[in-house]
Amino acid sequence: MVFFKVGAGLSAASLPTEFESNVTKINRASAINFRITSDKISRAQFYSRFTQHVPIVFACFGFVSQNSAVVELIPDSYFAPLDLPTIFNRVAPLEVDLGCGDGSFLTDLAERSPRRDFIGIERLFGRVRSACSKAARRKLTNVRVLQIENSYAVEYLFPRDSVAVFHLLFPDPWPKWRHHGRRVVTAEFLRASHRALVRHGEFRIATDQLDYFEQIRRRTSAAGFDELADNHWDSMPVTTFEENFSSQNTPVYRLSLRKVS
């Protein structure tokens, strides 16, 4: 199930016939909340066709301040690579926080590294709004937040050799065996990440699930990554998840990878 918030002036009748839609009006800014099942077509087809029918996708306007809306990244196209120099108005190393949550880690990292650019990827609207607000309050011009799925962003939106560092911190572990197919770190996801990373680019992963950690580790060498012994984890900001795990004495498993081929 995929959730969108779009600008007003769109009716259910204007949606492509392939989509099953349940349209519910909400009481702010005359916005419309679309709940759309995309199982019948591929993810790429879904974003491609849907963006032909709506003027604004994943917009924060009407829900957050104008400054926060500037932080949120709304691409001209959801099926073409991002124009990163235009987005940030400069050329700088890019770090991507996959599943940035409320933006705490993302904004802490960006504040420490003003000469680098940062994009947070997050699926949930409330978390996107929070991350946008945090970056706007700190006046961080090197942060953008994009509401979309991690796997789609990595595969379709980041140009080849464009990302210096990917951060994937505490992704949904889907601990039940029958749900393991829903885990984001697949062989395809790692290949797409490898393509997007610059030469010797890094991928930093953390999870509290040992079996997930071992599964990721088994897949990385085949995807063209080498494992680094330790890569400045102690100097990185602490995420909300990590704080919770530490308070419960839950082990955290970390993996630092470098693109080698």
- Catalytic annotation, residues: 172
Burial of 218 (0-12, 13-18, 19+ CB in 10 A): exposed
DSSP state of 2: E
HSE-CB for 30 with a 13 A CA cutoff: 5
Burial of 185 (0-12, 13-18, 19+ CB in 10 A): buried
Q: Are residues 73 and 87 in contact, defined by beta-carbon separation less than 8 angstroms?
A: yes
State whether the Cα torsion 106-93-166-188 is positive or negative: positive
